[in-house]
Copies of this chain bind each other. A is one copy, B any other.
Amino acid sequence: MTLSEEDYIKAIYHLGKGENTTVSTNAVAEQMETKPSSVTDMIKKLSDKGVANYKPYKGVSLTEYGQKIALSLVRKHRLWEVFLVENLNFSWDEVHEVAEQLEHIKSEKLVDQLDKHLGFPQVDPHGDPIPSKKGEFKKTIKKLLNEVPVGTSGICVGVKDSSTPFLKFLDKNDISLGDTVLVMEKEEFDGSLNIKIKEKIIHISNQIAANLYLKITE
């Protein structure tokens, strides 16, 4: 697969939320920051290659083979992200762009050895699971912080949005993955929350809460 084909495969995979959902041409175009006509061309090619199922006007989905390729790319992307943070002093908001390049490097040995070198990590710096070599991963049960009732306590295990502004916000407010969070109070009017984290009580907007995943402990 070419770099471009690989990025399309990943886009279809992510838009389908990892399940094998059919996604629209326009959705792919938006994700790839390209034009719908370019997408049509590409998904025809992917279809010819046996990577995607394409019915004109009906959207596109990945074949089993396509799913495998997607999972391998996700695996590589997330392993490189771990490497950048763990070994090269990158912060979690700086890794995506570089991993977007590194995921296309072709070498099975490289990936396997990287995995080993990092101690077979289960999640990337944003809390997203890393598929095994065979493409398997367990999805941990997690809930968005704005959807749990007051009184819920849990561990912060991931972010939904991994854009730089959001991650920088979390850094600034000293919120990290692994922190224990207790929902103290919820404002009816705007859905904002008072949460206890690291012995401090802080106030966060609903929009922030809607992008933080919690593994509920109690």
Report which A residues bind B (CB closer than 8 A): 84, 87-90, 94, 97-98, 101-102, 105-107, 109-110, 113-114, 117
- Which residues in B have their C-beta under 8 angstroms from that of A101? 105-107
16 A-B residue pairs with Cβ-Cβ distance under 8 Å, sorted by A, are: A84-B110, A88-B109, A88-B110, A88-B113, A89-B113, A90-B109, A90-B113, A94-B109, A97-B107, A98-B105, A98-B109, A98-B110, A101-B105, A101-B106, A101-B107, A102-B105
A99 → chain B closest CB, angstroms: 10
CA distance A194 to B51 in the complex (A): 58
Closest-CB distance, A76 to chain B (whole angstroms): 12
User: Across the interface, which residues of B come within 8 angstroms of A113, CB to CB?
Assistant: 88-90
Chain B: which residue is nearest A84 at the CB level?
Answer: B110
Q: How far is the CB of A165 from chain B (nearest CB, A)?
A: 19
**A105 CB, min distance to chain B CBs, angstroms:** 5
User: A88 touching B117 by the CB < 8 A rule?
Assistant: yes
B107 and A98 form a contact (CB under 8 A): yes
Q: How far is the CA of A90 from the CA of B84 in the complex (A)?
A: 19
The distance in angstroms between the C-alpha atoms of A88 and B108, with both chains bound, is 12
What residues of B have a CB within 8 angstroms of the CB of A102 in the complex?
Answer: 105
Closest chain-B Cβ to A93's Cβ sits at a distance in Å of 12
CB closest residue in chain B, given A107: B98
**How many Å lie between the Cα of A102 and that of B114 in the bound state?**
14
Specify the chain B residue showing the minimal Cβ separation from A113: B88
- Bound-complex Cα distance A98 to B113 (A): 13
